[in-house]
Amino acid sequence: MRTERTNILIVCGPNASGKTRLGVALALKLGAEIISADSRQVFRGMDIGTGKDLDEYATPEGSVPYHLIDIAEPAQIYTLYHYQRDCYEAIRKVRARGKLAVMVGGTGLYIEAVLKHYNLPNVAEDPQLRNALMKEPKAELESRLRSLDNALYERTDRSSKKRIVRALEIGACGGDRSPSEGAEPPELVPLVLCIRWPRDKLVRRIDRRLEQRLGSGMIDEVRGLLASGIPRARFAMFGMEYKHVAAYIDGEVGYEEMVEKLRTDIHRLAKRQMTYFRGMERRGVAMHWVDEADLGRALSIVGEYSFAAGEGPAPA
């Protein structure tokens, strides 16, 4: 074993890349617990559309505990600020049990905000402002954000229109953007594994997974959420699966058109996710690339590190 040391493992990658399965396999080997890094899996009742795949946490070799899944109601406002706060608390609790925390997910902004201890303001969502901004072209929103707050512009995930709108919400609060006081963030010495696939293989995996989700009741899941009374303006923020399936339920598009739009949007999302992860590497996060979610390769990388389950890095 070399002298590298770490006290938190990250397993990330785009949609349908196999990150949950790989994360669970590594957690079993390390006796670790998983912390979800997904912006939508925090919401209850949004299971199939967000790809929670909770059955993957229970294996013949044993079950892996998981955290930050099903912790909020869909109508509840849950922002990056809340996720960072809750993630730090989950890390502390996992460490207090003498276990290693393994963050697993595809929301790069959430992962980076935790690893880099982003100084985040506790700013509530503004539905009226958000609805108005979402109607404007993405390029116009980017320009407005740059003029409003260049520092905020630089650290915003600009591949996502929703993230730009959220940044403008924060920027609009001007001098009231100071973060709420709280406990000091835990010391993090991360080992980051990022899964990558050849584009054509990943596209096939995405399409196959979408077919499975549609066959597993995703349309009924969306129908149930709509019937629960969630405001449509809020519902539209849940992402492409919910937006396109809702349009199909409302009779605005046919089934085949809905499926094709979903395929296209998920392909684009996966591309944006990989762009964000490569950007993280350029911004100083050391990435270890794992081709096609290969467990052997991941174990080889992990084997070069010493792990500390408690607070602080392991001794060299």
pLDDT tens readout for residues 289-312: 999 999 999 999 999 999 876 644
DSSP string, 148-181: H-HHHHHTS-TT-HHHHHHHHHHHTTGGG-PPPP
Two structure tokens written together for 130:
């958000």
Residue spans of the domains in the chain: they are: 5-120+179-307, 121-178
Paired tokens of 15? 């949609």
For the stretch 79-115, pLDDT in tens is: 889 999 999 999 999 999 999 999 999 999 999 999 9
User: Where do the H-state alpha helices sit in 172-254?
Assistant: 199-215, 218-227, 232-235, 240-249
Residues 219-247 have a mean pLDDT of 88
Contact in structure between 166 and 79 (CB atoms under 8 Å):
yes
Q: Residue 229 carries which DSSP code?
A: T
User: How confident is the model at residue 40, as a pLDDT?
Assistant: 94
Question: What does pTM read for this prediction?
Answer: 0.84
16 and 207 in contact (C-beta within 8 Å)? no
Architecture in CATH for domain 5-120+179-307: 3-Layer(aba) Sandwich (3.40)
